């Protein structure tokens, strides 16, 4: 079982820390796990030319490299910070440009999917980012999963909040977010193994 965690942050701090927790937990369960940093790839904005209706894109940048990694995975986690109430630009470019995989025969169909979000403020748009990513996954015919463990001490998805009770902090001090990330990893591996035949 292969897990691809996509870091949609331009840095390797808070969002990366949550993805690292997921990848480490998945590896403990025998899965392969890789973190791909979107900032390392050049993915241009969509030009709206509709050439992707035929399942390919005319732009020659790094989108194909990222999509190849997504196609090779059994499970995909996209981690995104919210800087102003929605996904950052590099994640939106990935979403828009991967339209060709839907139009090309749902190449990402039945991949297990979950979002991971970091937010500076407690109510800084994390829920909207989660819904944006979930809608994206459903549009690609992926299987969206959430944490299925303790409903009181962990959330449906990891939401790392930088605003702590005593001031600003890093996500590594947000134990609820880290616990949710590890629980989500266990659920991802469980569902990915159970649905393997759908991707063969």
Q: Kindly report, residue by residue over 127-164, the tens digit of the pLDDT.
A: 999 999 999 999 999 999 999 998 777 789 999 988 87
Identify whether the C-beta of residue 90 lies closer than 8 Å to the C-beta of residue 39: yes
Beta partners for residue 82, in sequence order: 119
Q: Which domains does the chain have, with CATH numbers?
A: 2-199 (3.40.50.360)
pLDDT value, residue 160: 92
pLDDT value, residue 165: 76
Spans in the chain with pLDDT lower than 50: none
pLDDT value, residue 29: 97
Identify whether the C-beta of residue 121 lies closer than 8 Å to the C-beta of residue 83: no
Outline where DSSP puts E strands in 38-175.
75-82, 112-119, 143-144, 159-161, 163-164, 167-168
Can you give the pTM of this predicted structure?
A: 0.96
pLDDT value, residue 123: 82
């Amino acid at each position: 079982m292969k897990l691809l965690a996509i870091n949609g942050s331009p840095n390797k701090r808070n969002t990366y820390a949550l993805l690292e927790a997921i990848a480490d937990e998945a590896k403990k369960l025998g899965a392969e796990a890789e973190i791909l940093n979107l900032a390392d790839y050049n993915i241009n904005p969509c030009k709206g030319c509709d050439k992707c209706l035929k399942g390919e894109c005319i732009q020659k940048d790094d989108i194909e490299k990222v999509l190849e990694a997504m196609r090779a995975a059994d499970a995909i986690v996209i981690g995104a910070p919210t800087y102003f109430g929605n996904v950052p630009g590099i994640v939106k470019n990935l979403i828009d440009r991967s339209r060709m995989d839907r139009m090309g025969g749902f190449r990402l169909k039945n991949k297990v999917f979950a979002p991971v979000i970091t937010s500076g403020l407690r109510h800084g748009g994390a829920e909207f980012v989660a819904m944006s990513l979930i809608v994206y996954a459903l549009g690609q015919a992926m299987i969206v999963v959430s944490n299925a463990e303790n409903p009181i001490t962990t959330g449906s998805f990891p939401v790392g909040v930088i605003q702590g009770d005593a001031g600003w902090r890093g996500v590594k001090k947000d134990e609820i977010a880290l616990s949710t990330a590890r629980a989500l990893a266990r659920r991802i591996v469980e569902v990915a193994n159970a649905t393997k035949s759908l991707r063969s």
